Amino acid sequence: MGSRYSKAAALGLSLLLLTSCGGPSAQPLPSSSPAVSPPGTARPDEVRPQPTVEQQELLEFIDTKLTGPYGVYTNLRETSESAEQATGHEVLSESASLLMETAVREGDQERFDRHWTLARRTFDMEGGFSYRFSPGQQKQFNVNAAVDDLRMIGALYEAGQAFNQPEYTREADKYGKRFYKNNIKKGYMFDMYDNFYKVVNESVTLCYINLSVLQKLSISSELQEKLLENMSGILEEGYLSDTFPFYETRFDYKTGEYSSEGINAVESLLTILHLTESGRQKPASISYIKAQVAAGTLFGQYTREGQPANDIQSTAIYALTAMIGAVAGDESLYQSSMDRMNEFRVTDPESPLYGGFGDVAARQAYSFDNLMALLAYSYRYTN
């Protein structure tokens, strides 16, 4: 597996890596949702709440309809797999990392092993995990996506602890050192590393900065302190305002400036989740999210002043606010977000999308929406 393309294309590719995040979703039809157990702490040897009906149906949809021999399809509908962005039955390291994280949260070692084995076989390359594989062309793309590499590494660390398996921890250390070598330069993290040209891009997307995993990397305390100081500073200085408490999209190392073509809700929410996981969230962000979830008015994109730029809502948006609520210890935010998210479920047993999340009319279902929903269900086990 392999591919070659121009250096200019490689360096520009980082701006496209999150295209699966917040993909088009059908508008929800109102439906009821049974109460979910409040977030709590669990280990594999503890008694955990039984999966909800929604969770079981979603998992069946993903396993039987949305998954192929190389992993979860980017979209249920097939394509020629020749577009600049991932489409159709192409698979993403993003999806593999979300499945790994979900499996370890569910305490399911067998499923975790299966997803990790497949992810390593499909995406592993010398310089990182390829962000995308095209089965139709047997083409492994030569760049990684830092956000997904970090999620995989973090899942390995979590699995080592949850399953009492030192081998997972050793693998996390190994891949973490590789990540530090290739995606981090002079104490700063970059979006992507090109495995063919051996170069990084010139910026970092804020939602890629997963502080809780960066602090686990197997590097010296001096290097770790410098890295965390630099990256937390970039995150926190990207805060827009207390009036609109979301975050800039990316930081350009060459110019020293932030830039955003528009404020994408999924990206800012992922940034807020990462900050919340490290105890650095802004209270204004949580309050704003809570109010918007209660009103059902969280939209896909905003202006920098906080005005909605469209009226699109998605499964992934409310999945992320549920995770933020769980990590922040806000049970009401978690539950209200899950109720909003479940409104997007396909509940018609005759539909090929039954149990999943997607556009019934167009017969489209995106990996990111479905896997973020699956992950959100598992957060009922966390504090």
18 — pLDDT class (breaks 50, 70, 90): very low
Give the pLDDT of residue 82: 84
Give the pLDDT of residue 380: 83
Give the pLDDT of residue 30: 29
Tokens of 31: 């439906």
Give the pLDDT of residue 7: 37
> Is residue 234 predicted with pLDDT exceeding 60?
yes
Give the pLDDT of residue 2: 36
The sign of the torsion formed by the CA atoms of 33, 35, 40, 43 equals: negative
Give the pLDDT of residue 39: 36
> Is residue 352 predicted with pLDDT exceeding 50?
yes
Give the pLDDT of residue 372: 98
Tell me if the domain spanning 238-383 has CATH number 3.40.50.300: no
Q: What is the pTM of this model?
A: 0.89
Q: Answer whether 79's CB lies under 8 Å from 88's CB.
A: yes
The half-sphere exposure of 19 on its side-chain side, counting CA atoms within 13 A, is: 17
Pair type for strands 128-129 and 124-125? antiparallel
Report how far apart, in Å, the C-alpha atoms of 207 and of each of 78, 108, 190, 246 are: 29, 27, 12, 11
Equal CATH topology for 80-201 and 238-383:
yes
Share of the chain above pLDDT 70, in %: 86
Q: What are residue 239's phi and psi, to 5 degrees?
A: -65, 135
> Is residue 24 predicted with pLDDT exceeding 60?
no
> Is residue 143 predicted with pLDDT exceeding 60?
yes
Least confident of 19-33, 170-184, 308-322, 338-352: 19-33
Return the domain boundaries, the chain: 80-201, 238-383
Average pLDDT, the chain: 89
More confident: 12 or 227: 227
Give the pLDDT of residue 20: 35
Domain 80-201 architecture = Alpha/alpha barrel (1.50)
Q: What is the DSSP string of 83-149?
A: SSS--TT-EEHHHHHHHHHHHHHTT-HHHHHHHHHHHHHHHEETTEEBSEEETTTTEE-SBB-HHHH
192-223 pLDDT tens trace: 999 999 999 999 999 999 999 999 999 999 99
50 — pLDDT class (breaks 50, 70, 90): confident
> Is residue 32 predicted with pLDDT exceeding 80?
no
235-269 pLDDT tens trace: 999 999 999 999 999 999 999 999 998 999 999 99
